[in-house]
Structure 1
Amino acid sequence: MHRRLHILLLAPSAVLLFLFTYKPFFQAVIESVYDSRAASSGEFVGLANFARLFDDPAFMAAVINNFIYVVFTVIPSLILGLLFALLLKENTRTNRWLRSIFFFPTLVPLVAAAALWSFIFLPGVGLLDHYLSLFIHSSHHNFLGQESTALTVLIIISIWKYSGYYMLFFLAGLQSIPDDALEAAHIEGASPWQGFYHVTLPLLRPTLTFVGTIALVYSFTQIDHIPAMTNGGPGHSTTVLLYYIQTITMESQDLGKAYAATLCTVVGLFFLTWLNNALLDSGADYER
């Protein structure tokens, strides 16, 4: 009776998981070996879609851009989130206000954030150009129009938006660490840095692993600011994998190639998630 009840309770989640996760994935696997273009619609082509994909310079640029985007958004966001949590760990009135301020960017939709930051980086009349001309007498910098700086702007926006969100998880993790462990380290003569490195950080590794996984997923999927600010340009300097998939799906209707790119993206995300767990999860304490 209890087993049937458990199955019944899990059934809605299992059905949704199948419909919105496994079914699309297996559909992508099947469709990636068919050519959906008008001239040969529905023709089985094997791995030809993958061959065309890897021959596309735009795809290779998207892979490189996505790697840079992941490295320079995930790592700084996690470091800032952890730093905010350490500084605001004490539950004082001032800290509660500061937590709200740091968390506020998470509540701003990414498209709205893109509009805000577009005004900041607007050449000539934007806030950044205004202060650059005021202090160093340099202006009319088109940060979003230059290949060397456009991706950096998108990285800054992502860090600004998600650091406060990750801070909440780190706060929860820090508050679950027993005070006795830190007090014992202090009695033994450990400095604050030694206490953090040898006590706090090891006990925080389960939280760090979880937040790292979330940050990786967001770095691949949260790209609403790209079409709002750069449309993947200039050139292909801000084209990342998901935006590349959207572009070839909507503009060229090359679904076979899009499915192939989707599978490559899923495999890449899976590998990075596995690597994150392998590096951070090994030896983590889940019993406290």
Structure 2
Amino acid sequence: MLKKIYLYLILAPTFIFLILFTYLPLFRSFSDSLYDSRYAIDGEKFVGLENFYRLFDDPIFWLSLKNNVIYILLTVIPGVLLALFLAIILWENNRINRWLRTAFFFPTIIPLVSAATIWTFIFIPNLGLLDYYLAKWFGPMNTNYLGMSQSALIALSIVGIWKFAGYYMLFFLAGLQAMSTSAREAAIMEGASRRQIFFHITLPLLRPTINFVVIIALIYSITQIDHVVVMTQGGPSNSTSVLLYYIQDLALNSHDIGKASAATFISLVLLFSFSVFNLRILEKGVHYEH
């Protein structure tokens, strides 16, 4: 009995933090979504699910959701693959690789607002670094990368990959260095090629790490919007408006707290559902002993 009480006491701080910073905000977002304070004279007015109906009838919401899905595909997949590639080539622990790891990790310690400012100067038409170097190969350039619907979201995705790929690389390096070498050594003795070793031994053993990195990358692709605010403010024509920016605009500019809370609740449910799905798919069949 005392042992069970002791275990509960150890878990209590974590449980309290989960309630305060996870479950309570989720409940609060759903609770606030049931009220509308736009037209109420004395406080908020209970409207039930009307905010959800208004949300689903808003084409900007669906456009923001679509943009967020595209942004996830443009950042999570290339970012995770780039991080895995960097971890593989920098796997060996020597002086040059340690220096390169630091260089690739450096963008992670730069605040996203500062990174967005740097890349804004890079993307300046005609005067930015990108047009400057492209002009050497293709002649004078005057491309407004952030001002065109076709390229603005891609430009933001480049910033996201540059900012976080080095961070994901560290997790892959930790997973690679903690991996047992016995299976790889046995495969080498059996005459397996490097490609076979990577796809049939290294990659399967990295699946728990890949699972974790994908979830972290997904969370960052949804929650990190500082560069959207600095570089495009959701434009042009809402082509870079993602879910969190849409929610922020509703709450701060339109003062539509009920609708913003409904969008927040939907976003959290989608994120939670994808995380559970990701855990089940990527960890399915992964069982190994150290």
Same topology, TM > 0.5: yes
Q: For 1:86, what is the secondary structure of its paired residue?
A: helix
Counterpart position of 1:158? 160
Counterpart position of 1:116? 118
Whether the aligned pair in 1 keeps the contact of 2:68 and 2:243 (CA below 8 Å) is yes
Aligned length: 288
Q: For 2:150, what is the secondary structure of its paired residue?
A: coil
Q: How far 1:286 moved relative to its partner? A: 5.3
Q: How far 1:160 moved relative to its partner? A: 0.6
1:161-194 CA distances to partner (integer Å, 9 max, x unpaired)? 1111111110111112211111111121211011
Whether the aligned pair in 2 keeps the contact of 1:123 and 1:139 (CA below 8 Å) is yes
TM-score scaled by length of structure 1: 0.96
Q: How many Å separate the matches in 1 of 2:288 and 2:69?
A: 31
* 1:27 aligned onto 2:28: yes
Q: How far 1:279 moved relative to its partner? A: 2.3
Q: How many Å separate the matches in 1 of 2:13 and 2:204?
A: 37
Greater displacement, 160-169 / 38-47: 38-47
TM-score scaled by length of structure 2: 0.95
Q: How many Å separate the matches in 2 of 1:143 and 1:150?
A: 6
Whether the aligned pair in 2 keeps the contact of 1:88 and 1:95 (CA below 8 Å) is yes
Where structure 2 has 5 or more consecutive residues not aligned to the other structure, the ranges are none
Whether the aligned pair in 2 keeps the contact of 1:28 and 1:262 (CA below 8 Å) is yes
Letter in 1 for 2:171: F
Letter in 2 for 1:16: F
Where structure 1 has 5 or more consecutive residues not aligned to the other structure, the ranges are none
Q: How far 1:275 moved relative to its partner? A: 2.5
Counterpart position of 1:190? 192
Q: For 2:284, what is the secondary structure of its paired residue?
A: coil
Counterpart position of 2:15? 14
Greater displacement, 252-261 / 133-142: 133-142
Q: How many Å separate the matches in 2 of 1:88 and 1:82?
A: 10
Counterpart position of 1:84? 86
Whether the aligned pair in 2 keeps the contact of 1:123 and 1:143 (CA below 8 Å) is yes
Q: How many Å separate the matches in 1 of 2:109 and 2:28?
A: 34
Aligned 1:58-207 pairs, distance under 5 A: 58-207=60-209
Q: How far 1:144 moved relative to its partner? A: 0.3
Q: How many Å separate the matches in 2 of 1:202 and 1:84?
A: 18
Q: Percent identity?
A: 53
Whether the aligned pair in 1 keeps the contact of 2:105 and 2:166 (CA below 8 Å) is yes
Q: How many Å separate the matches in 1 of 2:235 and 2:59?
A: 14
Q: How many Å separate the matches in 1 of 2:264 and 2:128?
A: 37
Q: How many Å separate the matches in 2 of 1:225 and 1:193?
A: 38
1:52-74 CA distances to partner (integer Å, 9 max, x unpaired)? 11111111110000000111111
